[in-house]
Amino acid sequence: MCEHSPITRDCKCPNEKCPRHGKCCECVAFHREKRNKPPFCLRNIEWTEQ
C-alpha cells in the first residue's frame, strides 16, 4: 500500500483519537478504500474515485 511515513505533527484533522491521525499515507489510503470521501485535510481538493 504505502511506505512508512513519519507522523505529521501539523495534521489538520480534528479527530485526534483516530489511529491514523498524523499518518497521512495511511489516512488517505483508508479514506480511498473504506470511506470513499477525502480526509479532512483534502476536502478542498477535487476527489476522484479509482
Give a yes or no: residue 48 inside a domain.
yes
Q: Decide if 1 is inside a domain.
A: no
**22 and 8 Cβ atoms separated by less than 8 Å:** yes
Which range of residues forms the domain containing residue 34? 18-50
What's the total number of domains in the chain? 1
Task: For residue 37, tell me if it sits in a domain.
Answer: yes
Whole-number Cα distances in Å, 9 to 6, 19, 25, 26, 31: 9, 14, 14, 15, 19
pLDDT of residue 36: 76
8 DSSP 8-state letter: P
- Could you report the per-residue pLDDT of 1-50, keeping only the tens digit for each? 566 667 777 888 899 999 999 898 889 889 988 877 888 888 876 655 55
pLDDT value of position 19: 93
Total-model pTM: 0.68
What is residue 17's predicted lDDT score, i.e. its pLDDT?
Answer: 93
In a domain, 3, yes or no: no
User: Within a domain: residue 9?
Assistant: no
Q: Would you call 29 helix, strand, or coil by DSSP? A: helix
